[in-house]
Structure 1
Amino acid sequence: MVHNNPGQAGRGGKSSIVSGKRLIGTKFACPGVSLSPSPGSSMTLLLAYASVAAALSSGLLALLGEHRAAWTGPALQVAKLVRIPVPLRPKPAVGHHRRLPHAWRRMVFALLTASGVSSLGAGLLQLHADAAVSGQLPFGLPWLHWHVRLDTLSAFFLVVLGLGVIAAGVYGPGYTRQFAGQYSFGALGLFTGSFVAGMEGVLIADDAYLFVIAWEAMTVSSYFLVVYQHEHASHRRAAFLYLLMGEVGAIAIILAFGILAAASHSFAFDAWRDAHVTPAWGTAAFLLALAGFGMKAGLVPLHAWLPEAHPAAPAHVSGLMSGVMLKIAVYGLLRFAFDLLGDVQWYWGAIVLGLGTGSAALGILYAVVQSDLKRLLAYSSIENMGIVFMGLGLCMVFIGKGHVQLGLIGLVAALYHVLNHSLFKNLLFLAAGSVVHQTHRHDLEHMGGLIKRMPVTAGLFLAGSVAIAGLPPLNGFVSEWLTFQAALQAASVIDNGILRSMVSVAAAILAFTAAVAAACFVKLYGVAFLGQPRERRSAHAHEVSHSGMLWAPAMLAGLCLLLGVLPTWVLDAMRPITRQLLGETLTSASARGWLWLTPGGVSTASYSAPLVLLAMALAWWLLRRLERRGPAADVRRAPAWDCGFGGLSPRMQYTAAAFAQPVRRIFAPVWETVETSTPETAAANPLQVTALSYRLEIGDRSWRWLYLPLTRVVEDLARQTARIQTGQVRIYIAYSFMTLIVLLGVVS
């Protein structure tokens, strides 16, 4: 079934979606499948289905591989009964016990990689097709089938998902060997596959029923991945906190969906796009959606789960959670606000801008004082998600005020940073996983000197650090620069003085976060990779032996450079998305050709990443020439001056806590800091101090200001509710009868 419907891409007459948008529908019936006559559009949906199937198959294969002994024995008996020739019979696992798990692990991750490739292919093809393809699956309730839809917005996030899954699939076989014999690989593979399938299901869902099912599959599966190393009490606590906050967020999303479902009398997104919702109910639905999706994105103050859960998960899962799962929350908010609600209000943008600005500032301030490697990266994700929401907030403000072209800059900046963060944060988590894999340490205070022992990993980590710090010519600079450009345009077009001041403050805070982010990753890289090893394990570390643990971050590092050098190509690829959501495209971005990026026009601001890269290459070449020909050629290498102390030792180096001390002193009210120093004295002379131990604890104030009071309220409500739990069956029957009477009254 094929039909052209210009209104299907947006909310009926209310939306500013460009007319003429093609929607290609394909209805799937069991057991056969009838495809649309458009082969290209049908291919994208089939690739999306193949991606989900491959992810689920990888999980089932991992489970079968772990329990292969349960079916290998019966298979041998069947082979004997049917007289299968000996060379074709299944071999017992005795002689192949060591090799079979490795081969099985490679097959599991090969299927996961295939899922990522299918997702990437579906997204790229759909972006190129610039059309929306829909379908219906014969699952669910008899009167409530699953509706699926793939348009340019979901296609973009499928690209983000595909790149992350490919990196995890390439990295995983070597990394997960350390868990052999200690943890269940079947559980890891099963929940990784269902986690990926859940995220893919969210992206292609076109009704509330399928969306919520896929969302819950994503949340519950990632809970089991966080608690995978379950013998650690901190991991169990982190997993419970993540699941609790994830379910609270899901309730908020369901309530937001309920408002639109009540207005349209349907669970299908197509009906919601045409539903009439009053401004008050629309704002209520948006705030509920912002709370639900913002909790999953880790916005402050709903971020408490993120720095606990991400470090607890295995490295490739941490990369997926931070690099991809957080972006699924951004997709959900974009889908709900711009596509399903449609009438974007400027004060929605002000709220989003405020939350994004606060998240960016507090996230990087919490990151810079961390000494745990993965915890620092997790807090940095809060900062980067804040930057994404700053772009979205600016877009909403401009759209609400009628400045669509300026809104496009904010939207493109947010989407670009979504893609950029998914690349360099995944890269950093994978490289950090290699460091932890080799040193068996998370604490930066126990590292040092790794650049000589793990040179390739150190180089890849440096690329990710430069990208996340927002330095040219890598990709992080482009998206942050675009966000600046969107904010700087506000002064000339926004007439509301308070709102104009708010945008100006947000721009200043964005500049502040960029500076602190640079300091944060200088600290991280300097303490972990430079200097001398602070511990024996770091001194004996070596480069990872499995090539996949190097190829995966190397692929991501190459993409960081490519997206940083050729931003105009990326913005051109985003035109179908902006056309779908806002009805216009940012034509001024490439007004001077591919060499120059001019988002606000040629006369306002421009940036040429290729020329910056060329200038840096020329500067490096000239420096090398001067070193070879000038006086520097006669300089000899000698040990560093030790100030007369008789040799440098690792104890003389800057620690992570010492590096961050100036920031910690200046912004002391941000954290709950407890410093304790305990002197040890000699037994013969109590005045003689022989040793001094120092302990620094940095806490998150949101626990005392928000979460602990909420915990007390919930506990009080639970105690009050416990009074009606009498333990008498007749009382419970009376409760059921009264509930039935109330429901009958509501229905009637």
Structure 2
Amino acid sequence: MLTQQLLLLSVLLYVAGALASLALNRAGKIANYASGISALAAAGTGMASAVQVLAGGAAFTWEAAGFIPFAKFIIKVDPLSAFMLLVISLLTGATALYSLSYLDEYTGKGAGVMGFFNNLFIASMVLVVISGNAFYFLIFWELMTLASYFLVSFDQEDSEAVKAGFIYLFMAHAGTALIMLAFILFFVYTGTFDFASFRGANLPVFTKSLIFLLAFLGFGAKAGIIPLHIWLPKAHPAAPSNASALMSGVMIKTAIYGILRVSVDFLGASVWWWGFIVLAFGAVSAVLGVLYALGEHDIKRLLAYHSVENVGIILMGAGAGMIGIAAGQPVLGVLGILAGLYHLLNHAVFKGLLFLGAGSVIYRTHTKHMEELGGLARRMPWTALAFLVGAVAISAIPPLNGFVSEWFTYQSLFIASTSSILAVRVFAPLFVVMLALTGALAAMCFVKAYGVTFGGPCRSGHAREAREVPVPMLAGMAILAITSILLGVGAPVVAPYIGKVASALLGITAVQVSDGLLVFPANSMQAMLSTPLIAILLVGLATLPLLIIGIQGGFQAGRRIDAEPWACGYKYSPRMAYTATAFAQPLRVLFRPVYSLRTTLDGPGYTVASYFKGAVVYIASVESLWERYIYAPLARGTVYLGKKLQSFQIGNVRLYCLYIIITLVVLLLATVR
């Protein structure tokens, strides 16, 4: 009973905070505190409710009469819902604390309105993951979309933000239409929209496969899988940074929740090629997402593309698990789902941290362009440290949390390579290579992102004038940084609980935890992991060279030389420092077909004398192949079709009556048949 009361209180606090923030819109900072403190309290109660269920408390269902006769309002919290509620509440708490100071930038610019949509956005996400009826699920899903749309397009004076909002809204509604079709197919066979009736429904295999494809593509549009990702690198940078953290950290994960709920919970993942499709889309999204991120110099667009990459990694684990279920390999089934859910949690934490770190940089420098930054580690040391933790975590470097979930993903792919299904055996090693390539490129990308933003000299006046952000913003980042460390080092404690969520979803028990430091599935093929031991090993490897140098007398305490770098005889300028463009250029050339790279060179010539006559201008532009070959033709076709249909709308009432009569006749004939 207490669990239900805490959950209800959480939702009410979000709604109350939203209304209070809107009412206090003209009250300045008070509106910020109304939305922030209410969200912080709601996150705490929501987290307490989720922890009670995950710690062994019973799942619960609550029903009430809805406002339409054929759809009851049902709240159901099972382990998967509780896990998602925990993820949402964790990131919400950190961003709410961060927003207490961050939203000062918007005081007098509609901060109360932003707080209203922000709290409404979070409340709708909570209601999505605890809804037990398809009809109300879609209502809350649409509410989540609309609230996030207003956050993306909040700055109406920014034409790019307005455009990004419309693109996001179009893709979101296209995905919703597909999800709606999937639920309608369930309704046709079950006669109800209740999720409980969807489970184990007697459906033909073809209908099951059709529902899976509709749901996967529909939810995939919200998750940002390639090629449905076009909205993500446009919308996330346009939104305020606290909203970007929530959109990237948890909103796109509600789509992963939807895929698992429909494919595994409702349909039982009974066909092996469903999991293979999920795995393949995930692998392609992971590799291309990180490649696109490497080519970006806008720090928020870079992070947005990394969301595409990490959604791909989550789907790789989930896809491997679905293959295991269909192939009768329970160990692979649980391990794959565990890997996907663990990375879902980890990505929410470190991506939220990175977006908040980027928001802190923008808060002080008022630019998202990394080429105009540099030297911020000396001016914003705590922000730099927090961003570094996030960068190490997302690069899957031990002992932080990103390494743990990717390790489980590797293990699930290794086990998949022994599958009885030929196609899986053949392609599993390729997927392992793609995951390894993704990890290496991610590390390279964040060497660029951190080094260019926080290292080296300041490249602009904005960077030189930067100073540390207020304490609430640092506290929000600190929560996520510490959580990233704990989820990595504490993997032997955390993994069993996530394993129970995966086991409950599959209805089996296949994961055990030893009394020591190793986490492994109960099978001869053990996925062994000891992050504390790895941490000790890494510290030892890092200190060993220093000890050797010290023994040899290499330390020269107190000696320091400050000098400018040698610049080939020219006076040194910060503009000569290694840039993000230069760092990524070799890969952009190597993967030219992926980037559709176009270069132009403009200068005084190539004679010896010309080297002393003016500057050489090198311009490299990247064109999106997806926009060029898919979305641009689709947009042109839609406009063309719209113009053709205009001929039917000529303002003649009699003609409109004729249309109605023809439609009625067609419907009557269809009914008779």
Match of 1:670 in 2: 594
Match of 2:630 in 1: 706
1:745 & 1:150 partners in 2: Cα distance?
45
1:601 & 1:278 partners in 2: Cα distance?
34
Match of 1:340 in 2: 266
Q: 1:554-703 residue pairs with structure 2 within 5 A?
A: 554-588=478-512, 590-591=513-514, 593-599=515-521, 601=523, 604-620=526-542, 630-634=552-556, 636-640=559-563, 641-642=565-566, 645=569, 648-679=572-603, 689-703=613-627
Three-state SS of the structure 1 residue aligned to 2:63 is strand
2:403 & 2:594 partners in 1: Cα distance?
27
Shift, 1:627, TM fit: 6.1
Percent identity of paired positions between Structure 1 and Structure 2: 39
Shift, 1:48, TM fit: 2.1
Q: 1:725-744 residue pairs with structure 2 within 5 A?
A: 725-744=649-668
Could you list the runs of 5+ residues in structure 1 that have no partner in the other structure?
A: 1-41, 68-99
Change (3 A) 1:602 1:471: farther
- Residue range with higher mean Cα deviation, 473-482 or 145-154: 145-154
2:354 & 2:44 partners in 1: Cα distance?
21
- Residue range with higher mean Cα deviation, 726-735 or 348-357: 726-735
Three-state SS of the structure 2 residue aligned to 1:342 is coil
Match of 2:450 in 1: 525
2:669 & 2:128 partners in 1: Cα distance?
35
1:344 & 1:727 partners in 2: Cα distance?
53
Shift, 1:144, TM fit: 3.1
Shift, 1:501, TM fit: 1.6
Aligned match of 2:300 in 353, 356, 374?
Answer: 374
The letter for the 1-side match of 2:25 is: E
Contact 1:130 1:152 in 2 (8 A): no
Contact 2:179 2:215 in 1 (8 A): yes
Match of 1:46 in 2: 5
Contact 1:194 1:221 in 2 (8 A): yes
Match of 2:34 in 1: 107
The letter for the 2-side match of 1:494 is: S
Match of 2:382 in 1: 456
Q: 1:306-325 residue pairs with structure 2 within 5 A?
A: 306-325=232-251
Could you list the runs of 5+ residues in structure 2 that have no partner in the other structure?
A: none
Shift, 1:605, TM fit: 4.5
1:55 & 1:743 partners in 2: Cα distance?
45
Match of 1:399 in 2: 325
1:212 & 1:594 partners in 2: Cα distance?
45
Match of 1:77 in 2: none
Shift, 1:484, TM fit: 0.6
Match of 1:91 in 2: none
1:443 & 1:617 partners in 2: Cα distance?
34
Match of 2:59 in 1: 132
Contact 1:485 1:600 in 2 (8 A): no
Match of 1:235 in 2: 161
Change (3 A) 1:746 1:207: farther
The letter for the 2-side match of 1:114 is: A
Q: 1:123-202 residue pairs with structure 2 within 5 A?
A: 123-181=50-108, 183-202=109-128
Shift, 1:688, TM fit: 7.4
Contact 1:482 1:599 in 2 (8 A): no
Shift, 1:50, TM fit: 1.8
Shift, 1:220, TM fit: 0.6
1:562 & 1:348 partners in 2: Cα distance?
34
> TM-score with structure 1 length normalisation?
0.86
Match of 2:210 in 1: 284
Shift, 1:622, TM fit: 5.3
Residues 1:331 and 2:253 are matched in the alignment? no
Match of 2:641 in 1: 717
Residues 1:62 and 2:21 are matched in the alignment? yes
2:299 & 2:611 partners in 1: Cα distance?
38
Three-state SS of the structure 2 residue aligned to 1:473 is coil
1:494 & 1:687 partners in 2: Cα distance?
64
Three-state SS of the structure 1 residue aligned to 2:519 is coil
Higher Rg of the two aligned structures: 1
1:301 & 1:408 partners in 2: Cα distance?
28
Change (3 A) 1:691 1:599: same
Three-state SS of the structure 2 residue aligned to 1:574 is helix
Match of 1:473 in 2: 399
Contact 1:679 1:689 in 2 (8 A): no
1:491-523: CA deviation from partner (whole Å, max 9, x where unpaired): 323341x33121111111100111000100001
Three-state SS of the structure 2 residue aligned to 1:277 is coil
1:422 & 1:658 partners in 2: Cα distance?
30
Contact 1:45 1:150 in 2 (8 A): no
Three-state SS of the structure 2 residue aligned to 1:694 is strand
2:615 & 2:522 partners in 1: Cα distance?
61
Three-state SS of the structure 2 residue aligned to 1:230 is coil
Three-state SS of the structure 2 residue aligned to 1:675 is strand
Shift, 1:624, TM fit: 5.7
- Residue range with higher mean Cα deviation, 672-681 or 498-507: 672-681
Three-state SS of the structure 2 residue aligned to 1:489 is helix
Three-state SS of the structure 2 residue aligned to 1:695 is strand
- Residue range with higher mean Cα deviation, 462-471 or 668-677: 668-677
Contact 2:511 2:522 in 1 (8 A): no
2:472 & 2:546 partners in 1: Cα distance?
33
1:380 & 1:165 partners in 2: Cα distance?
20
Contact 1:566 1:594 in 2 (8 A): no
Residues 1:535 and 2:457 are matched in the alignment? no
Shift, 1:686, TM fit: 10
Change (3 A) 1:626 1:551: farther
- Residue range with higher mean Cα deviation, 394-403 or 633-642: 633-642
The letter for the 2-side match of 1:697 is: S
Shift, 1:104, TM fit: 3.5
1:147-188: CA deviation from partner (whole Å, max 9, x where unpaired): 11111110000001001110111010111111122x211220
> TM-score with structure 2 length normalisation?
0.95
1:203-232: CA deviation from partner (whole Å, max 9, x where unpaired): 111111110000000001100000011111
Three-state SS of the structure 1 residue aligned to 2:47 is helix
Shift, 1:328, TM fit: 0.3
- Residue range with higher mean Cα deviation, 687-696 or 478-487: 687-696
Three-state SS of the structure 1 residue aligned to 2:418 is helix
1:558 & 1:111 partners in 2: Cα distance?
23
Contact 2:72 2:133 in 1 (8 A): no
Contact 1:170 1:552 in 2 (8 A): yes
User: Alpha carbon RMSD of aligned pairs, Å?
Assistant: 2.1
Match of 1:507 in 2: 432
Shift, 1:46, TM fit: 2.4
Change (3 A) 1:420 1:687: closer
Shift, 1:142, TM fit: 4.5
Change (3 A) 1:688 1:547: closer
Three-state SS of the structure 2 residue aligned to 1:690 is coil
1:47 & 1:594 partners in 2: Cα distance?
35
- Residue range with higher mean Cα deviation, 722-731 or 611-620: 611-620
Shift, 1:587, TM fit: 2.6
- Residue range with higher mean Cα deviation, 195-204 or 302-311: 195-204
Shift, 1:354, TM fit: 1.0
Shift, 1:271, TM fit: 1.7
Change (3 A) 1:341 1:414: same
